[in-house]
Structure formats: structure tokens, C-alpha cells
């Protein structure tokens, strides 16, 4: 009986010796310096310095399509072979996977679409003015807005030039 009680005290003392350092560590952690309490600039703490009046961005940014561009009836770029070749390169970047090499909607990704991507030699496309085609190819039916944001402005009219070649080639 006496033995048992002694053993109990010893166990209690041992447990206390293990637990006490942990409690001390916890106590220290909660009263020590906090990362949230340090000299730092918080959002809206400080006013931005005023920009010089002539400041404009020189790179980047997303220029959304404008309705004005869609109203242009002709492509501002001439259909030179260099422009068409460049258009073909960009077509390979942005369109080929869906609309296919012949523009008929047979691209590997296009196959999963119902309905399939528009045949770019069809009357639905040839019937569009250049401006409407410009708008439709980036913002039209079947396209997520991301396409409009991905294709750089200086590549867009080149793409229109290249898309026109599908109908011409099929007519031959």
C-alpha cells in the first residue's frame, strides 16, 4: 500500500518534469516578439507618390478589342506574302489546335468541341467583313475571352490575312 503511493508520487513528479518545460516554452512563445508587431508599411498606410503627368505604360497591359476595329471594312495591312506567312505562324500558335491546318475545324483539340470549330473557309466566315472577322476570331462564338487577351494587337490583322487564304485555297 505504502509502496504503491510512493510509486504514484514518483510517476507524478516525472510527468511534471516532462510537461513543465513544454508549458514554459509555450508561455515564452506567446509573450515573445510577434512577427505581426514589427515596423512595416501596411496596406493603405502611405499615399502613393503622384505620377508625373506624362506617365504612360510602355509595355504589357491588355488592350481589349474595340467595336471601332470591328467596324473597319478592310484590313489595314496589305496581303503581302510576308504578312501572310507571319499570319500563318501566329495561326499555328493560337488557332491550329482547334481549327486545324486546313481551317476546317479538324484540329486535335477542336475534335472535342460540339459543334466543331467553325470551318474558316465557310460562307459564315467569308461573308464577314475584315473587321467583323477580326472581332469574331477573338471574341466570337465558341471562344473564351482568354483568346482576346492572348493574341497581341500587332498579330491580329496578320491572322485575318491568313484566315482569308483558306477559302481562296479551297476554291482552287
Rule CB under 6 A: which residues touch ligand HEC? 94-95, 97-99, 109-110, 113, 115, 117-118, 120, 124-125, 133, 136-137, 140-143, 147, 151, 159, 163
DSSP 8-state code for residue 116? P
Contacts of residue 122, defined as CB under 8 A and 6 or more positions apart, other chains included, come to none
Longest dimension (CA), the chain: 111
What does the alpha-carbon distance between residue 31 and residue 29 come to, in Å, rounded to a whole number? 6
23 versus 101: smaller Cβ distance to ligand HEC: 101
42 versus 107: smaller Cβ distance to ligand HEC: 107
- Whole-number minimum distance, CB 114 to ligand HEC, in Å? 9
- Whole-number minimum distance, CB 59 to ligand HEC, in Å? 22
Residue of minimal Cβ distance to ligand HEC = 142
What does the alpha-carbon distance between residue 71 and residue 128 come to, in Å, rounded to a whole number? 11
7 versus 149: smaller Cβ distance to ligand HEC: 149
User: How distant is the alpha carbon of residue 161 from its chain centre?
Assistant: 26
Amino acid at each position: 500500500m505504502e509502496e504503491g503511493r510512493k510509486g504514484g508520487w514518483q510517476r507524478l513528479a516525472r510527468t511534471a518534469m516532462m510537461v513543465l518545460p513544454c508549458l514554459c516554452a509555450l508561455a515564452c512563445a506567446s509573450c515573445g516578439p510577434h512577427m505581426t508587431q514589427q515596423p512595416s508599411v501596411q496596406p493603405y498606410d502611405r499615399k502613393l507618390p503622384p505620377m508625373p503627368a506624362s506617365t504612360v505604360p510602355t509595355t504589357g497591359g491588355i488592350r481589349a478589342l474595340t467595336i471601332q476595329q470591328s467596324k473597319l471594312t478592310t484590313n489595314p495591312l496589305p496581303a503581302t506574302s510576308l504578312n501572310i506567312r507571319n499570319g500563318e505562324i501566329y495561326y499555328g500558335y493560337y488557332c491550329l489546335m482547334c481549327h486545324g491546318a486546313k481551317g476546317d475545324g479538324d484540329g486535335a483539340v477542336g475534335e472535342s468541341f460540339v459543334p466543331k470549330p467553325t470551318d474558316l473557309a465557310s460562307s459564315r466566315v467569308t461573308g464577314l467583313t475584315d473587321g467583323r472577322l477580326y472581332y469574331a476570331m477573338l471574341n466570337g462564338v465558341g471562344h473564351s475571352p482568354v483568346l482576346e487577351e492572348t493574341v497581341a494587337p500587332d498579330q491580329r490583322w496578320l491572322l485575318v490575312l491568313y484566315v482569308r487564304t483558306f477559302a481562296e485555297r479551297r476554291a482552287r
